[in-house]
Structure 1
Amino acid sequence: MSDAVRLIEIKEEIHADNQRVAQGLRRQLEEKKTFLLNVMSSPGAGKTSTILRTIEALRDRFRIGVLEADIDSMVDAELIAAQGISAVQLRTGGFCHLDAAMVAKGLDALDLDALDVVLIENVGNLVCPAEFDTGAVKNVMILSVPEGDDKPLKYPLMFTVSDALLVNKIDYLPFSDFNLEAMRERVLRLNPHIEIFEISAKTGQGVEQWAAWLSREASSFIAPASGAARPRIGKFLNASRC
């Protein structure tokens, strides 16, 4: 390389800036005693339906809020708000992921003093969301049976950064060649500490075990409040940084 040419590693700089914001966000959440969970998956894996099932299982124990991220839509946030849950729609304006600054903007629109748990529904993508720290306390990914058991081989980082894996649409297993044991072996080779739950957001199968894990994790981070979440009006934000 010529001495006259200066090389700037843009990606490294972006990630360093994001990490600083994420660390600050975690400190804020610790002060507020609000547990933030980042939910990631490919499009159609069942993030929204899984979040709705999770809310149903835990709303009597925790006051729950949701950040919904989409490139351009309000559909999911409206579904959440219809359940009487605090919901903020983050429109990323083309970004295929959320970063810590976008999440901070969404959290500013929520009353964290009135919430114990906030669930992030990240943009549907198995690549970019795994690269950006959102400031969440825990990361969870959803892999649906119709996607195939080879995804850990194709998208290893997503499985590596996740604390729990939800294998969704398990009711479809009898009609699929999805190999659960092969999938488990591949995932645990990447991340020996990951928790794996087999669920069906459609039928409710396995949701109780998943909700129990989340309840333990949240309880260890906060002092749970009694009573159901109070109904709140959904909001819409443009999270794009362009």
Structure 2
Amino acid sequence: MCRVVDLRQAVLAENDASALALREHLAAQGTVEVNLLSSPGSGKTALLEGLLSRAVAAGTAVAAITADLATENDARRLARAGAPVKQVLTDGLCHLEAGMLRGHLDGWLPQGTRVLFVENVGNLVCPASYDIGESLRIVLGSVTEGEDKPLKYPTAFGLAQLVVITKTDIAEAVEFDGTAFHRNVRQVNPGVPVLETSARTGAGVDELLAFILGCAAGVPVHRPVLARQHHSHAEDPHHGHAGGLDHSHSRPAPSAVRGTAEAP
């Protein structure tokens, strides 16, 4: 008698175990991992460069890993901030996995690093399903991507502990409907804080860094819990979707991030 094995579930279960081990390892050395997710072209790298620059200027020990399918362009750009930066090339894989990340951290991550930023592969599908040992998951959406992005990618936005709107300096030019975006975020992730930023003008970047450092200091935020659903049909383990989010964990009130009052 043949035994049917759900390959996708096995892959995700193995990743979850690796993620838990990595989270505990980082916590033991006082490091908080921040997982940054977004579509390509959202302005994630520009925003991260601003965060690193401010943290370095303030004397906060930070580091960053940036993942791409090819090129080391982002790592060279981020290194200008003066923080330790490492490029991870996924060789075509559309997301990072916990074991892969752990392999790049061992022997590289400086002792005493307070915050490790991980710029995930530009993709809102595959990375959303993979816990990579983060303590804080931030999902970005730019004003150029449209107000319905949260509805199109409910897994990514539904698992976010903070949603960041980028490129707000051109919101008027592209006729971005902020009220609709906030409403759509609330539909898939009720109560999640939303912060509006512009890497070009610097608006909201200090507030974003303060939120992240608050997490590093122990301000409680809910950790994404990927509820694995069993499927009756075969799926590619590298292109699956996670199930729901356990909202039983505490999260910071929206007022914890200055300037994030949601539109009515």
TM range (shorter): 0.7 to 0.9
RMSD: 1.4
Question: 9, 17, 26: which is aligned to 1:20?
Answer: 17
Q: How do 1:58-77 and structure 2 match up within 5 A?
A: 58-59=55-56, 60-77=58-75
Note if 1:52 corresponds to 2:49: yes
Question: 21, 26, 29: which is aligned to 2:26?
Answer: 29
Compare relative contact order (CA 8 Å, sep 6+) and give the higher one, 1 or 2: 1
| Partner residue in 2 for 1:162 | 160
| Partner residue in 1 for 2:108 | 110
On the 8 A contact 1:71/1:91 being kept in 2, the answer is yes
Q: Name the CA distance, whole Å, in 1 between partners of 2:164 and 2:73.
A: 23
| Partner residue in 2 for 1:240 | none
On the 8 A contact 2:39/2:122 being kept in 1, the answer is yes
Q: Name the CA distance, whole Å, in 1 between partners of 2:152 and 2:196.
A: 21
Note if 1:200 corresponds to 2:198: yes
Structure 2: gaps spanning 5 or more residues: 220-264
Task: Give 3-state SS (helix, strand or coil) of 2:81's partner.
Answer: coil
Shift of 1:83: 2.5
Task: Give 3-state SS (helix, strand or coil) of 1:174's partner.
Answer: coil
Q: Name the CA distance, whole Å, in 2 between partners of 1:153 and 1:93.
A: 30
Q: Name the CA distance, whole Å, in 2 between partners of 1:95 and 1:12.
A: 18
Note if 1:42 corresponds to 2:39: yes
Note if 1:93 corresponds to 2:91: yes
Shift of 1:191: 1.2
| Partner residue in 1 for 2:237 | none
Q: Name the CA distance, whole Å, in 2 between partners of 1:186 and 1:162.
A: 13
Q: Name the CA distance, whole Å, in 1 between partners of 2:192 and 2:84.
A: 29
4+ residue segments displaced more than 4 Å:
none
| Higher-helix-fraction structure | 1
Q: Name the CA distance, whole Å, in 1 between partners of 2:180 and 2:81.
A: 37
Q: Name the CA distance, whole Å, in 2 between partners of 1:66 and 1:120.
A: 6
| Partner residue in 1 for 2:139 | 141
On the 8 A contact 2:53/2:81 being kept in 1, the answer is no
Shift of 1:177: 2.6
Q: Name the CA distance, whole Å, in 2 between partners of 1:91 and 1:51.
A: 18
Q: Name the CA distance, whole Å, in 2 between partners of 1:147 and 1:26.
A: 32
On the 8 A contact 1:36/1:137 being kept in 2, the answer is yes
Task: Give 3-state SS (helix, strand or coil) of 1:178's partner.
Answer: coil
Q: Name the CA distance, whole Å, in 2 between partners of 1:192 and 1:61.
A: 35
Shift of 1:109: 4.0
Q: Name the CA distance, whole Å, in 2 between partners of 1:72 and 1:143.
A: 22
Which region of structure 1 is more displaced relative to structure 2, 33-42 or 183-192?
A: 183-192
TM-score, structure 1 as length reference: 0.86
The percent of aligned pairs where both chains have the same amino acid is: 33
Q: Name the CA distance, whole Å, in 2 between partners of 1:110 and 1:197.
A: 32
Q: Name the CA distance, whole Å, in 1 between partners of 2:161 and 2:211.
A: 11
| Partner residue in 2 for 1:84 | 82
Q: Which amino acid aligns with 1:11?
A: R
Q: Name the CA distance, whole Å, in 1 between partners of 2:171 and 2:210.
A: 23
On the 8 A contact 1:143/1:167 being kept in 2, the answer is yes
| Partner residue in 2 for 1:189 | 187
Shift of 1:180: 0.9
Q: Name the CA distance, whole Å, in 2 between partners of 1:111 and 1:210.
A: 23
| Partner residue in 1 for 2:255 | none
Q: Name the CA distance, whole Å, in 1 between partners of 2:97 and 2:127.
A: 8
Task: Give 3-state SS (helix, strand or coil) of 1:143's partner.
Answer: strand
